[in-house]
Amino acid sequence: MTSEAQQKAIAILPKFSGFFSACGSGFIVYDILCSHFDIPTDFWMKKDKNKNGESKELSALSSNRRSQFSSRGASRRIQRKTLRNSAYYRLMLAMSISDFIVSIAWFCTTWPIPSDENSPDNPSDKVYGNSGTMQTCTAQAFFIQLGIITPFYNALLACYYYLTIRREWKEEEFKRKVEYAGHFVSIAFGLGTSIAALVMKLFNNSIVWCWIAPYPFPTGCGNGPDQIPCERGHNANTYRWAFYYGPLWVMIVLVIIFMALVYAYVRSLDVKMGKYTKSYEKGASASGNAVQNENGDTKPNRRTKIMQTLSMVVLPDAEAITEQRVRRRNERSKAVANQGLFYAGTFTLVWSFGTITRAMQLANAKPPWAIIFLFGT
């Protein structure tokens, strides 16, 4: 940091992004759990009660549901999405919990960094707002490293989109073949690297927050031939890429590949839908034309009349129903594909600044403060 103002900016502003990220992830967890346990999301609001103690809105909703169920029959009831029957809900819940934890750790920014009186290399590298101890620093770094679970679930969610949209897998098939293994790999890698870094004493002051870093005692320590070995955090730059940025970019590439395949599939549906519509319009136009008889008259014969009647009464209805079904399915898939592509682009952009910062540090180059600022916020 070159000035006190820049130190304050990098210490304070990430608290806002961390706070809003935690709020967003917390709301997703809250919404999924309310859906699973069939709890109205506005249950905490005060409502008018009827004589049976039910809110009027809930009573009316229950009445409508009972009438719908009685009219449609038990075999046609709409199944409510829960954690038991929706792999999407389970993946989103796990990813949101991981993101909530790491957002809280990011929100703390420089607070857990050891203060000067708690640092063996007193005074420590100048950091604004550092008021913690080595224990608080280690705890923050542990949860930040645990956040590598989130990119793993991003890739697993993109895989879910690909298999259920393009390959048309069912929920049970995805759960049996992919989901269980995906949960195990994601959580095992996050916990494994966090515990390994804790045992190897890699968690130290990383200026913006605590993470994998060489301990600056004595000042100027490193792995070079002319440098004094660090007391803690040996080969920290290598472990940063092995434990975090390497796997992170593998997951980013997987997300891009899966969503690109989904998008290509949806585009192919658009092309097929266009050809189908043109073919249907052409066939309907041809069936309506009169067939000339042997005398050159345009009066259709008996067979032509029957075919015209069928085409006007039966075929249009069947074709229209099929066309509507294909269109609805295509619209849903297209919305998912666009959302996935938008997310993949945002996901890549957000982590680009951090990757540039760590790559320049690995090359013993000083990253510009603007890049560090964008990485921190």
For 366, left (φ over 0), alpha (ψ -120 to 50), or beta?
A: beta
User: Which pLDDT score, from 0 to 100, does residue 313 have?
Assistant: 52
* pLDDT recorded at residue 123: 53
Task: Report all structural domains of the chain as residue ranges with CATH numbers, in order of start.
Answer: 4-41+81-376 (1.20.1070.10)
pLDDT over 70 percentage in the chain: 64
Instruction: Report residues of the chain scoring pLDDT below 70.
Output: 1-2, 42-79, 116-126, 216-220, 222-225, 273-330, 332-334, 336-337, 340-341, 373-377
Confidence at residue 120, expressed as pLDDT on a 0 to 100 scale:
57
Nearest Cα neighbor of 117 from 106, 131, 107 is 131
pLDDT at position 52 is 54
pLDDT value of residue 92: 93
pLDDT at position 323:
65
Percent of the residues in the chain that have a pLDDT greater than 90, as a whole number: 33
Using the 8-state DSSP alphabet, how is residue 118 labeled?
A: G
User: What pLDDT does 241 receive?
Assistant: 92
pLDDT value of position 264 = 83
The pLDDT score that the predictor gives to residue 291 is: 47
Each residue's pLDDT tens digit, 234-247: 888 889 999 999 99
Determine the 3-state secondary structure of 132 from DSSP: strand
Distance (Å, whole) CA 202 – CA 242: 13
What is the C-alpha R_g of the chain? 30
